[in-house]
Amino acid sequence: MIDWGWRVPFLVGGLVLALGVWARRGVAETPEFAALPRDRKTPLAAVLREGWRRLMLAAGVNLGLNANMFILATFMLSYATAAAPQGLALPRQPIVLGSVVGLLCHSVTIVLACWLSDRLGRKPVMLSGAVAALAYALVMFRIADIGTPLAVGVAVIIGFTLGGFLFGPLLTYFSELFSVEQRQSGVGLAFQLGSVLGGGLAPVIANRLIAVTGSSTAVGCYIAAGLLVSLPCLLALPETAPARTRGAA
């Protein structure tokens, strides 16, 4: 794996890219995009000028989500398998297995959250997921610190399951927040900005918190702080689900 195996997922990703290009060529544009003039272009400057507040709020929503997910997907594995006092010194294989099961549960709750968001609205589902993930972040490492592979697996599985309720409707919600002309730039920038600030820095910050405090509780508080950013951002954004907005209109 260290010598050459790590290259295999990247090579397989090339096949996924080819499949995506092939599928995209056969999919018609939505009526909204088809109605736009072909020569119309919206530079990024226009998105920043006209929709900067909505852009920053959407990035804030993704910040907490990504902090939570990156800790679960990357840091928890290193923490569980690292030697004491920086980790729990557990065998790697059962921790990886627990992560796989957690991701499977995550995929199920994503589908469930999307289905619920079409009927109840985007915000109620996402807010419920954010509140549940925030509360759980404060106890997640207490469960993991029991120090057995089963305890870490349970901690990860619950975390991934709850995260799916926030992540499921996210991209659909983001696309509905921006006008057709600004949608690609707005969604892309909002998502990636939140990903970098929330997820990209999360494992590094978590490692430093463990080194400085000697306690994993600080990492749980860090996740909760990220989700505390997401909650007011979500509250400040409008509802966009057709099932909710159609009646209001």
Assess if residue 60 is contained within a domain: yes
Domain of residue 231, residue span = 54-239
Query: What number of CA atoms fall less than 13 Å from residue 38's CA on the CB side?
Result: 0
Q: Return the structure tokens found at 217.
A: 């509780």
With contact defined as beta carbons under 8 Å apart, do 125 and 168 qualify? yes
Assess if residue 22 is contained within a domain: no
With contact defined as beta carbons under 8 Å apart, do 167 and 198 qualify? no
What's the angle, vertex CA 50, arms to CA 46 and CA 51, rounded to 5? 105
CATH number at residue 105: 1.20.1250.20
- The predicted model scores a pTM of 0.84
Alpha carbons 131 and 134: distance in angstroms, whole number: 5
Assess if residue 42 is contained within a domain: no
Assess if residue 73 is contained within a domain: yes
Q: pLDDT tens, position by position, for the chain (249 residues)?
A: 788 888 898 888 889 899 989 988 888 877 777 777 666 655 677 788 888 899 999 999 999 999 999 999 999 999 999 998 889 999 999 999 999 999 999 999 999 999 999 999 999 999 999 999 999 999 999 999 999 999 999 999 999 999 999 999 999 999 999 888 888 889 999 999 999 999 889 999 999 999 899 899 999 999 999 999 999 999 999 999 887 776 544
The number of folded domains in the chain is 1
